[in-house]
Structure 1
Amino acid sequence: MTESENIENPLRHLSTTFSLALLMMIVITVSPIALVKAPTSGTLAFTTSGLAGTAGITCPNSNGNCYNNAAEPAIRADAAGNFYGSSENGLTGGTDAWRSTDGGLHYLTLVSPNSASAASNQFSPAGGDTDLAVASQTNLNGLYNVYVTSLALTNVYVSTSSDGGNTWLLNPTGASVPGDDRPWIAAEGSSKVCVSYHSITATNDIFVTCSNDAGLTFAQTGNAFDANHLWLAGFQNAIGNLAIDPANHYIYQSLSGVATAAETTCTNCGLHAVWLAVSTDGGLTFTDHAVYINPSTSISYGHQFVNVSVDNAGNIYIIFTDDHNLYYSFSTDHGTTWSSPTQVNKTPSNTAIFPWSTAGGAGKLDIVWYGTSYYDGKNTPDNYPMSAAWYVYFAQNLQATTNPANFTQVAA
């Protein structure tokens, strides 16, 4: 897909969240291409399509079978230009996965990464929250490992494919601490993969568990909270995604939380602080840095989800939403200091939620989110009227560390 293509099917108001989520996967696939060069026309355009829930089907097609029941998708691109996506069918519903080898124009539905579920309508203990990662170096097959994590009833499943998603090797014990929720996954090199997750049994502590053998074993676990910030546990945080910089091997865990230890007893304080936990020793230990603390304790950034990405020069970007506007901050010193937040969304996206980002070359940043023109200043997006029309929005800044306001925004 090129940046100058016209939109064939503008995204209309959708009555179901899962349909919007899966269409979003097609939109995001432009990001790695768009980061290579600026659009010559000054605008970006997208083609949208549904994805099939049955293995072996390629979409789009004219057979009427490009649909599914999955939600909350994840997508990644490997260095060879292949795209991989995954999405959840809910606990015991199994995980769906897709692959594109033509720049996002077509997606093949793969066999489920959960070995007990060869199709989306079969039983699997997994199928809860999902995320996906790709290796930064090739394996012995000359391909990039693909990793999918999925929340199960008792643990975190991690599935590894060394052959481009054709087959999967499942490890049903990707988490070393029991009672898990909302796993995220990141990878680097040819065989290192790390999973982060909430441990409900440890009062919502955030743990990062790493494997150095492509997911066969997860022998190393680190706590994302350092000794000075252990108070962020105790159900005082909301986990964001995990990222690894393959250049220096630093691991970054994003989250939102309260701002001080004193606020842990506050009964009406929101998660008004954005944090980044940084590990410089491969995930053994972490140091926590405040990205931004809103002076208003009534604000909360703990809504699906704080997002972190790293560009090729090592610059870090944090994206977060207050259920109204979408903001980003950047760091050029590995997360130690941060820029002031800059609002990303513009009219007609008066509400912007559920962000995701991809960073490319130095200063090049793409962000997608769900947006609507509706905003009444009273209700949360969960309680917006059905008349609120939701779209997928895409914004790009090719000078994100020097010209923060220089975003181009389009709706798909």
Structure 2
Amino acid sequence: MHRWTTVWASWLGLIGMMALGQPSFPHRETPDDPYRPNQGGFAPAGGSFVQRGPYISRQVNVNAAGGNITGDAANEPSIAMDPTNPNRLVIVWRQFDSIQSNFRQAGWAYSHDGGLTWTFPGVLERGVFRSDPVVRADANGVFYYMSLRGDFTCQVFRSLDGGVTFPERYDAFGGDKEWFTIDLTGGPGHGNLYLAWSTAASSTGNRTFTRSTNGGVAWMTPIEMPNRPIWGTLTVDADGTLYIGGVSSNQWPLFYLVRSSNARNGSQTPVFDLSQPVNLNGTLVYGAGPNPGGLLGQVWVDVDRSQGGYRGRLYFLCSVDPPGVDPLDVYLAFSTDKGVTWSAPIRVNDDPPAANAWQWFGTLAVAPNGRVDVIWYDTRNDPNGLLSELRYTYSYDGGITWAPSIPISPAFHPHIGWPNQNKIGDYIDMIALEAETLIAYAATFNGEQDVYFVRVGDCNGNGVHDGLDIGHGSTDRNRNLIPDECETRPGDVDFNGCVDDADLLRVLFAFGQAGSNLFEDLNGDGIVDDADLLLVLFNFGNGC
């Protein structure tokens, strides 16, 4: 494909969006700054990390000694896991070797011990401009790294060794903000790769969807999607039905869900048999608040593939600007009939609407057992609306009600460490598992943008999600949805880490009281009795 042809096609897309009343946004996905080199290396156990409560975030883009690489930037992380070996993980990101240059490359790291240690080999091609990284794994554990080039086409790299190397490279169509997914159903479309991208900077104009039926080696001629959804993601139902969500580039600012029931059939050209608007009680935001040079969140779609009561339920989520004074909230809607009709929008974040806080980069994933997980960056604890912490919540009833959100990272300042562009990327990523969730996110704990990995949901490592664990084996006396054993030691009534006279006196003064969630009821049996007193006595002095 000729470079000038693709650039001309992207400009036509931008002109078309402006004519339709959509604001034109600056897409700096071309190499306009020089390349400046840096090096990656191996991270020993521990590496660089930060901690919030029981949740340890480990830095992924580290040097040979496991420390931070000063002067660089890393953002827009995406994560994948080998389903045949869950300890094998890959995270990819936009790598800026110097914050003095806007030039970015395709960074990646791999872990073969479940994220405890990470190896950062460097970039796919040193000195070659690349952006908008996305990684996924097929059912056989092959990792696919989708990467956008400066001419608005994509290439997909494949790794057959758990992410250690990506020696296979195949050309694909594409454009700005591309996303892809892989059919893992075991049905007729098993192994298909589906790729969609934005009309705003596209190598093929308004034809922004393609499919590969041979592992990314070759791709069909792109086709146009009804209402042209952009800045969103794709998902495949258990029966192979394909869904794509986004904001419409020709019906701006409406959200749309498009569906193809035959994309799984490799002998047929995909037909989109449904295009339905989705109400999220607000609009997608670009270029404001904590991320003035980028999106405040892209559209996420996922589906329940479990054997539970919500099997087939389709979810659509985005951080949006709602009516009123609140600048940004995470809203979700669900469909129980394959996208034909949708629920009323549901507010996921739990801060007061008048808090004037930004809940940005809302991200969605559905676990194999049907649990719905959502994460986002949250400024609720900063009156200036900038310092952001990563928060997590979940739903066990099909997205109708949500657990109180849990902060899982320290707060960071998103306006520092910009690599000659005023944003920390446009998205983060996550994987929802049976008992926990794996998250890749960017933050500025080192005074610059870096990529971190954190596990949340099974803090005591017993293979049971914390939401199910509490009340069925674990206590939660301070009612923060974190099992007590993850926050303190046995016998510590006041959660100060030391079992001492204060804990003994509290149990003695509360002796005989009955009820739920009593701090002095250490074993959670509903009464403060001899068993609780013995827990304090047997552990007296621990942690002091």
TM-score bracket for the superposition, by shorter chain length: 0.7 to 0.9
Q: Counterpart of 1:219 in 2: which secondary structure?
A: strand
Match of 2:191 among 122, 128, 144: 144
Match of 1:277 among 333, 338, 344: 333
Match of 1:222 among 270, 276, 279: 276
Partner of 1:177: 227
User: Residues 257 and 293 from structure 1, CA distance in 2 versus in 1: closer, same or farther, beyond 3 angstroms?
Assistant: farther
Q: Counterpart of 2:316 in 1: which secondary structure?
A: strand
Provide the C-alpha distance between the structure 2 equivalents of 1:42 and 1:216, rounded to a whole number of angstroms: 37
Q: Counterpart of 2:430 in 1: which secondary structure?
A: strand
2:428 alignment partner AA: P
Q: Does 1:127 align with 2:172?
A: no
1:218 Cα shift?
1.3
Q: Does 1:355 align with 2:428?
A: yes
1:47 Cα shift?
0.6
1:233 Cα shift?
4.8
User: Residues 235 and 393 from structure 1, CA distance in 2 versus in 1: closer, same or farther, beyond 3 angstroms?
Assistant: closer
1:76 alignment partner AA: R
Partner of 1:75: 135
User: Residues 394 and 43 from structure 1, CA distance in 2 versus in 1: closer, same or farther, beyond 3 angstroms?
Assistant: closer
Moved more, 185-194 or 323-332: 185-194
> Equivalent residues in 2 for 1:228-377 (5 A)?
231-233=281-283, 239-247=298-306, 248-259=311-322, 261=323, 263=324, 269-271=326-328, 273-287=329-343, 288-295=345-352, 296-302=354-360, 305-322=361-378, 324-346=388-410, 354-360=427-433, 362-373=434-445
Residue deviations 1:336-395 (CA, integer Å, cap 9, x gap): 100111111148x676964311012x2221011111126xxxxxxxxxxxxx32221100
Provide the C-alpha distance between the structure 2 equivalents of 1:246 and 1:284, rounded to a whole number of angstroms: 18
Count of matched residue positions in the alignment of Structure 1 and Structure 2: 346
Provide the C-alpha distance between the structure 2 equivalents of 1:341 and 1:187, rounded to a whole number of angstroms: 28
Given that residues 176 and 218 in structure 1 are in contact (C-alpha distance below 8 angstroms), is that contact kept between their aligned partners in structure 2? Answer: yes
Given that residues 145 and 164 in structure 1 are in contact (C-alpha distance below 8 angstroms), is that contact kept between their aligned partners in structure 2? Answer: yes
Q: Which has the larger radius of gyration?
A: 2
Q: Does 1:397 align with 2:456?
A: yes
2:400 alignment partner AA: T
User: Residues 156 and 369 from structure 1, CA distance in 2 versus in 1: closer, same or farther, beyond 3 angstroms?
Assistant: farther
Residue deviations 1:4-30 (CA, integer Å, cap 9, x gap): 798774452454x6xx358x55xx345
User: Residues 14 and 149 from structure 1, CA distance in 2 versus in 1: closer, same or farther, beyond 3 angstroms?
Assistant: farther
Given that residues 199 and 249 in structure 2 are in contact (C-alpha distance below 8 angstroms), is that contact kept between their aligned partners in structure 1? Answer: no
Provide the C-alpha distance between the structure 1 equivalents of 2:137 and 2:235, rounded to a whole number of angstroms: 13
Partner of 1:108: 167
Residue deviations 1:210-243 (CA, integer Å, cap 9, x gap): 1112271212112221xxx6x5359799543221
Q: Counterpart of 2:242 in 1: which secondary structure?
A: strand
Given that residues 82 and 143 in structure 2 are in contact (C-alpha distance below 8 angstroms), is that contact kept between their aligned partners in structure 1? Answer: no
User: Residues 107 and 21 from structure 1, CA distance in 2 versus in 1: closer, same or farther, beyond 3 angstroms?
Assistant: farther
1:101 Cα shift?
2.1
Partner of 2:257: 208
1:111 Cα shift?
1.9
2:394 alignment partner AA: F
Q: Counterpart of 2:171 in 1: which secondary structure?
A: coil
User: Residues 4 and 216 from structure 1, CA distance in 2 versus in 1: closer, same or farther, beyond 3 angstroms?
Assistant: farther
Residue deviations 1:269-291 (CA, integer Å, cap 9, x gap): 411x2111111111112212221
Partner of 1:122: none
Given that residues 311 and 359 in structure 1 are in contact (C-alpha distance below 8 angstroms), is that contact kept between their aligned partners in structure 2? Answer: yes
1:88 Cα shift?
2.6
Residue deviations 1:231-276 (CA, integer Å, cap 9, x gap): 53597995432212223222211112245x5x2xx5xx411x2111
2:262 alignment partner AA: D
Q: Counterpart of 2:139 in 1: which secondary structure?
A: coil
Residue deviations 1:117-171 (CA, integer Å, cap 9, x gap): xxxxxxxxx4211111111223558x51111212234436122111111111133
* Structure (1/2) with the larger strand percentage: 1
Match of 1:48 among 120, 123, 143: 120
TM-score, length of structure 1 as denominator length: 0.72
Q: Counterpart of 1:171 in 2: which secondary structure?
A: coil
Partner of 1:94: 153
Provide the C-alpha distance between the structure 2 equivalents of 1:151 and 1:306, rounded to a whole number of angstroms: 19
Provide the C-alpha distance between the structure 2 equivalents of 1:196 and 1:159, rounded to a whole number of angstroms: 15
Given that residues 233 and 245 in structure 2 are in contact (C-alpha distance below 8 angstroms), is that contact kept between their aligned partners in structure 1? Answer: yes
